[in-house]
A and B are shown apart, each in its own frame.
Chain A
Amino acid sequence: MINFEAIKAIYKFEMARTFRTIIQSLISPVLSTILYFIVFGTAIGKNMQLVSEIPYGAFIVPGLILLTVSMQSVTNASFGIFFPKFLGTTYELLSAPISYIEIIIGYVGAATTKSFCLGLIILITSFFFVDIKVVYPMLMLLMLFLSCVSFSLLGFIIGIWSDNFEQINFVPMLIITPLVFLGGSFYTIDILPIFWQNITFFNPIFYLISGFRFSFFGEGEVSVWISIFSTVIFIVICNIIIWKMFKTGYKIKT
């Protein structure tokens, strides 16, 4: 039988942590995204060419949302499990009648909720700075949700893997940010030389951005189905890794 009470407890606890750290969790990412809108959308964007018939300010909105959402999902989920490890309170999770799936739903569910809300707030904020319409709103919500889930799962893995604060910051800063920037957040890959275009196809975030952008403008660089499929594959892989971590007790159990 599923321990719903435990899932609720973890979820509520994690959400409460967000409200305790509202500046770090919400205000800070929204503010930095607004700065992007002002600089790239309003100031520089006016002087930039249209990208695929889309004004540059509007073009970068999906990429900017994904940039923030990916960072926040990874940070929230990794800190969510890393802190109990750091404080030694994981003993409570491990000695309670909870399965690893329930633990994931609690932690990853909370991290997903936070970054999903953040993504929507940034989207609403973007309406004040650029002229943008969402062609497929339901698809946009689905892609945003899948992005939040996949990065939160990745964050959860990082949280378990990390032994210290340096490692927990290492992956978002040195891997995810470059992948988001180089995955076509601010440009279409056809402006790149062929060699770099081919390299970009190995960047999983490229497919996410393409699918997300398709939901906004009705056009992406690869089929939206490829985007959805690759995101689902990524989620499945993350789940397998977490299952293996819990099964072997990797860096959780002694």
Chain B
Amino acid sequence: MSNIIEIQNLMKVYDNNYTALDKVNLSIKKGEIIALLGPNGAGKTSLISNVCGISSITSGNVFVEGYNVEKEYRKTRDLIGLVPQELSLEPFEKVWASVKFSRQLFGKKRNDNYLENLLKKLSLWDKKNQIIKSLSGGMKRRVLIAKALSHEPKILFLDEPTAGVDVELRKDMWSIIKELKNDGVTIILTTHYIEEAEMIADRIAVINNGKILLVDKKDNLISKMSKKTLTIYTKQILKSIPHSLKKFNLRIFKNEKKLEYDYTASGNKTGITTLLSKIKSSGIELIDVQTRQSTLEEIFVEIVNND
């Protein structure tokens, strides 16, 4: 898969000397969904703003399909659609007029059929003559997506698309994003909902303090970074760990009939078989065993905390 966006040593320092992006390097593949995951103030929006032209680049280069975003901005912006984080819309404009305005702003000829299909896909067609002010927050978010897609971009930036959106609408939004991917649109999504990244992203980039901490395929990330925990339920409450089990670093719980054992999911030798046979030989009676894999959220927290 070829790269559609290349970000090289991108720096963004604001007037107050705050460094929002610190030599960021990132390649985004054509047709993928990549989630930029990071806490508030990590630099996610600054990164998007630099690529889209909303904020000026301090140093470094950004290329979109080989074109420089500063020098060849007409070509790069033509390829990009942006859904901002805030519900920034002209309140007294009608939905249809607003979407038409966006298409025209990008220099595209009128194409009512395309816009009609777009509004239908986003369940906005029956609201096309309503003024934006009268729409719910979720519908306004859809209008922003329609505006961003009105000029048929190849790349879509979604800056926290489900912030403040209820669960049902969030799921709706995910299915829209997946549909866009099927249509060949490359999607860059910022979020601090780990669940969102887990559900829809192909790759995840973790960003914190203006630096990309890691970029990997979601599945790789989970399997590489993930820890597993084996919970062993015993018949009796154990007061201490028998000497023969010390090397397993088991966790013991006061007044609870259980032990916990951590192991990495990626390793071939988990130590479970040895542990269980040692438990049996030390005379501890087992009732049940259960395994649990750490979530992406736990991985994310660990990465950010280690930064």
Which residue numbers of A lie inside 8 Å of B, CB to CB?
1, 3-6, 8-10, 13, 16, 20, 83-84, 87-89, 91-98, 248-249, 253-254
Contacts and interface: CB of A to CB of B under 8 A. Distances in A.
Given A89-B88, A96-B77, A97-B78, A8 B104 contact: yes
Contacts of B88: 87-89, 91
Interface stretch (B3-11, B106-114, B284-292): B106-114
A13 B100 CA distance: 11
Contact of B52 (A9, A10, A95, A98): A95
A39 B138 CA distance: 55
B84 A91 contact: yes
Contacts of B86: 88
A178 B105 CA distance: 38
12 contacts: A6-B104, A9-B105, A20-B92, A84-B90, A96-B105, A97-B74, A97-B75, A97-B77, A97-B107, A249-B56, A253-B56, A254-B55
B91 interface: yes
Given A13-B101, A91-B84, A253-B55, A6 B90 contact: no
A87 B105 contact: no
Interface in B56-71: 56
Nearest to A2: B107
B49 interface: yes
A206 B97 CA distance: 43
B53 interface: yes
A94 B106 contact: no
A248 B56 CA distance: 8
Nearest to B159: A91
A95 B107 contact: no
A64 B82 CA distance: 46
Contacts of A91: 52, 54, 82, 84, 88
A117 to B, nearest CB: 22
B107 A89 contact: no
B3 to A, nearest CB: 21
A92 B49 contact: no
A95 B55 contact: no
Given A13-B101, A87-B88, A87-B91, A254 B106 contact: no
Nearest to A94: B54
Nearest to A1: B74
Interface in B215-257: none
Nearest to B74: A97
Contacts of A95: 52-54, 77, 80, 82
Contacts of B84: 88, 91
A87 B90 contact: yes
Contacts of B74: 1, 3, 97
B18 to A, nearest CB: 11
Contacts of A20: 92
A5 B108 contact: yes
A89 B89 contact: yes
A137 B231 CA distance: 94
A9 B53 contact: no
B107 A6 contact: yes
A5 B108 CA distance: 7
A16 B101 CA distance: 12
Contacts of B130: none
Contacts of B102: 92
Given A6-B104, A97-B74, A254-B14, 11 more contacts: A1-B74, A5-B106, A5-B108, A8-B104, A9-B101, A89-B88, A91-B84, A92-B102, A94-B53, A95-B80, A98-B105
A4 to B, nearest CB: 8
A-B pairs with lowest CB-CB distance, top 6: A88-B88, A9-B104, A97-B74, A97-B77, A254-B55, A95-B52
Contacts of A13: 101
Nearest to B88: A88
A3 B104 CA distance: 9
A232 B282 CA distance: 97
Contacts of B147: 92
Nearest to B151: A96
B174 interface: no
A6 B54 CA distance: 17
**Most B CB within 10 A of own CB, among A4, A97, A98, A248:** A97
B80 to A, nearest CB: 7
B125 interface: no
A88 B91 CA distance: 11
A252 to B, nearest CB: 9
A232 B163 CA distance: 50
B73 interface: yes
